[in-house]
Amino acid sequence: MSTDLKRADILTIQRILPHRYPFLLVDKVEEINGTQSAVGYKNVTMNEPHFQGHFPGSPIMPGVTIVEAMAQTAGVMIGVALDQLDTNMLIYFMSIDKCKFRRKVIPGDVLRMDLTTLRGKPGGKVWRFSGVATVKGEMAAEAEFMAMLDLPKDDA
């Protein structure tokens, strides 16, 4: 692993993303390669509120939360690469394309999310990403999505 690759633990993630429990869906991000790629992890636990109703007796992580977890991983990657700690950066979904679900994600699983930037550059507002979420090497979901960065205005 190159020494240029960076990582973000949960405390760093909270300094980048505005999300908090129960909607913070990434626990750590590793192998951050600038704005190009990153790998995020979500430890799926039974105490998450969506399992109360999705589905009682057969808990399955909703597909939309898997896609959101991939998007949050992309947000952390961009936040680390662009040094956006403690700046109140916001990222908004613009589109989700080519989204497919292949495997159930259940409590006890570790969701690995491999993210790649397809379009976007420092200073740009609109970014496009590709994400693949896996559990034990088996694909759970994949999607391409676009997001708009709302970077804080420089008051200087």
- pTM for the model stands at 0.95
Lowest-confidence pick of 84-88, 107-111, 130-134, 150-154: 150-154
Q: How sure is the predictor about 152, in pLDDT bands with cuts at 50, 70 and 90?
A: confident
Q: Out of 54, 62, 103, 128, which one is annotated catalytic?
A: 54
pLDDT on residue 3: 55
Q: Confidence class of residue 153 from pLDDT cuts 50, 70 and 90?
A: confident
Give residue 151's pLDDT: 83
Instruction: Please provide the average confidence, as pLDDT, over all residues in the chain.
Output: 94
54 assigned to active site: yes
User: What backbone torsions phi and psi does residue 59 show, to the nearest 5 degrees?
Assistant: -65, 125
What pairs with residue 116 in β-bridges? 37, 130
Tell me how far apart the alpha carbons of residues 66 and 150 are, in angstroms, rounded to a whole number. 23
